[in-house]
């Protein structure tokens, strides 16, 4: 992992905040909770999340149980001797979307790894092979196929909520300043013995403009740029 990636770990942001404000390590756990809350507040109406690819098993009922951090799907491909793209979500965008999609898309893709290598994906007319949909039944989110695939697996690239309660979440550089100002406001409002109403107001204004700047940056992104920014590790990229 690069030094810059470590710098943007949520735990590192908390470390920087403590150092800048001469606070002892005893404050670390509380400030991490504040930082996670700040991310969640930002995510309530604005999905600054990650996109990652995993290999999942298909059950004998033609369903795939999706990860707990699943927000929306990007690309679904059948794994095996050949990797066949079943669907590409053309409605992904930087705004929140529901997960009740069905598809009969087809395309040729490579399964690409940013670190090295690529596995060829055989694009076929999958409209003749059935369709799938993603549903939330209240207990879990599932990908449901309408035809049997047998004992098989799929590659799923999906948008995640991006949270790790241990401080290992990697934040986008755009969000760094926002989180520092969020921590400064929380400390000023709740724990700074020297705080005044005037100082609390100044911190709240700083946070307001930082939040506005973050939202403005991400709302202006086109879908492909958004995905490129948030992808991690292996990804399913369009074949050229």
Q: Who contacts 52 (Cβ-Cβ below 8 Å, separation ≥6)? A: 157, 158, 160, 231, 232, 233, 234, 235
The pLDDT of residue 159 is 81
Looking at residue 28, what is its pLDDT?
Answer: 93
Q: Are 99 and 77 in contact (CB under 8 A)?
A: no
Burial 175-210 (b: 16+ CB within 10 A, else e): bbebbbbbbbbbbbeeeeeeeeeeeeeebeebbeeb
Interstrand relation of 132-136 and 141-145 (parallel, antiparallel or unpaired) = antiparallel
Q: What's the CA angle centered on 55, arms 233 and 150, to 5 degrees?
A: 160
> What CA–CA distance (Å, rounded) separates 30 from 2?
27
pLDDT digits (tens, 9 = 90+) for 97-123: 444 455 544 434 444 443 334 444 443
3-state secondary structure of 150: coil
Give the per-residue pLDDT at 162.
Answer: 63
SS3 146: coil
Phi-psi region of 139 (alpha: psi -120 to 50; beta: other; left: phi over 0): alpha
pLDDT, residue 153, reads 86
What 3-state class would DSSP assign to 90?
coil
Report CA-CA distances (Å) from 21 to 32, 108, 167, 209, 210: 15, 52, 19, 21, 19
pLDDT of residue 117: 40
What pLDDT is recorded for position 133?
A: 81
pLDDT single digits (tens) 168-185: 777 778 789 999 999 999
Q: Average pLDDT by consecutive 10-residue portion of the chain (240 residues)?
A: 63 92 93 88 61 86 86 82 77 52 45 42 42 80 77 82 68 86 95 94 94 76 71 56
In this structure, are residues 189 and 200 in contact, taking their beta carbons and an 8 Å threshold? Answer: yes
């Amino acid at each position: 992992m690069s030094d810059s990636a470590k710098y943007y770990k949520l735990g590192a942001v908390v470390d920087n905040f403590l150092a800048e404000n001469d606070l002892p390590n005893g404050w670390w756990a509380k400030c991490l909770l504040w930082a996670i809350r700040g991310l969640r507040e930002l995510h309530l109406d604005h999905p600054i999340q990650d996109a990652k690819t995993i290999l999942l098993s298909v059950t004998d009922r033609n369903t795939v149980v999706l990860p707990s951090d699943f927000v929306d799907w990007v690309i679904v491909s059948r794994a095996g001797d050949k990797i066949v793209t079943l669907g590409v979500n053309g409605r992904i965008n930087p705004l929140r979307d529901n997960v009740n999609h069905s598809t009969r898309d087809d395309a040729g893709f490579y399964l690409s790894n940013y670190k090295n290598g690529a596995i060829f994906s055989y694009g076929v007319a999958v409209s003749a092979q059935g369709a799938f949909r993603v549903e939330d039944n209240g207990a879990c989110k599932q990908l449901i196929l309408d035809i049997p695939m047998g004992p098989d697996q799929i590659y799923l690239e999906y948008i995640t909520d991006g949270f790790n309660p241990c401080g290992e979440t990697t934040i986008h550089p755009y969000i760094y300043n926002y989180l520092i100002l969020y921590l400064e406001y929380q400390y000023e409002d709740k724990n700074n013995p020297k705080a005044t109403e005037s100082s609390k107001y100044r911190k709240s204004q700083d946070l307001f403009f930082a939040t506005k700047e973050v939202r403005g940056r991400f709302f202006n992104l086109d879908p492909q740029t958004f995905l490129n920014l948030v992808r991690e590790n292996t990804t399913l990229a369009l074949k050229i």
